[in-house]
Structure 1
Amino acid sequence: MTDRLSAYAPQALAVLRIVAALLFILHGTQKLFGFPATEMQPPLMSLFGAAGVIELIGGLLILVGFYSRIAAFIASGTMAVAYWMVHAPGSLYPTNNGGDAAILFCFVFLYLVFSGPGAWAVNRK
């Protein structure tokens, strides 16, 4: 059974990459364009604005699988910084400080750095 499932590992990895990228892009569009609707609209030339640019552009690169290892490395680092600078000071526990998504993004993208993009990528390197 597991051998049959292993045959679909590249496609499952691609689905993980695509879904994570779509969610990451939403965080970027929220910061940069206010969509989905939010109160947070940071200046572009701020740390949050830079994070929004990385989330949007990096998310698009990861989504299509174009230089996805480099984009995932930058995105992973961005989420590590986001967690330790924004979320961790609020509480020791990620469920209380709202940082659980940042942790998940960080490690999913870190995994993509090592695994590559999987199937359906523009460049599969």
Structure 2
Amino acid sequence: MDFLAPQASRVLSILRIVAALSFMTHGLMKIFHFPVPQIEGELPPMLLVAGWLEIVGGGLLALGLFTRPVAFILSGMMAVAYCMAHWNFALPPAAEFFPPVNKGEAALLYCFLFLYLACAGGGVWSIDTVVRKKP
């Protein structure tokens, strides 16, 4: 599949944009109840911070602006989210860690996707790349 190798940076950009926009929807649902409310009532402070990080961080990633540091921060946020919200200590020890059981698959995937973006950057279609190419 070497014929796909020249497209790697473009596909990286597409992955970044799609993941960032998808991630933003979680914050939009928490903070603005758009397109539907994720949580009814007043948000606890930790979820309020998470919602704003999802909106602002997702927006920055979608644009490819400050991709590496933003992705690193969001990766850490998702690692914390997985451990705090999905690692269910009420389950038997053999099952509590596994994402299909604790419903933490999205958090785990976002964590490692953002870690990859922190290492790889935003791809060819990012503001970071445009700014870096200026003399």
Q: TM-score, normalised by structure 1?
A: 0.91
Q: Is contact 1:42–1:48 with CA below 8 Å preserved after alignment?
A: no
Q: How far does residue 93 in structure 1 lie from its aligned partner after superposition?
A: 2.1
Q: Is contact 2:65–2:128 with CA below 8 Å preserved after alignment?
A: yes
Larger Rg: 2
Number of the residue aligned with 2:117: 112
Runs of 4+ aligned residues of structure 1 deviating over 4 Å after TM superposition are 41-45
CA distance in 2, matches of 1:69, 1:22: 17
Number of the residue aligned with 2:100: 95
CA distance 1:7–1:93, shift in 2 (3 Å):
same
CA distance in 2, matches of 1:109, 1:92: 20
User: Which runs of 5 or more residues in structure 2 are unaligned?
Assistant: 90-95
Of 90-99 and 47-56, the range deviating more from structure 2: 90-99
2:125 partner amino acid: W
CA distance 1:63–1:42, shift in 2 (3 Å):
farther
Number of the residue aligned with 2:8: 9
CA distance in 1, matches of 2:53, 2:35: 17
1:32-89 Cα deviation digits (max 9, x unpaired): 1111213504646610110001000000000000001111011101100000001112
Q: Is contact 2:75–2:111 with CA below 8 Å preserved after alignment?
A: yes
CA distance in 2, matches of 1:57, 1:122: 16
User: How many residue pairs are counted as aligned between the two chains?
Assistant: 124
Number of the residue aligned with 1:49: 48
CA distance 1:33–1:100, shift in 2 (3 Å):
same
Aligned residues: CA RMSD: 1.7
CA distance 1:85–1:115, shift in 2 (3 Å):
same
CA distance in 2, matches of 1:72, 1:82: 15
CA distance 1:68–1:41, shift in 2 (3 Å):
farther
CA distance in 2, matches of 1:119, 1:39: 34
Q: Where do 1:62-77 residues align within 5 Å?
A: 62-77=61-76
User: Which runs of 5 or more residues in structure 1 are unaligned?
Assistant: none
Q: Where do 1:26-41 residues align within 5 Å?
A: 26-41=25-40
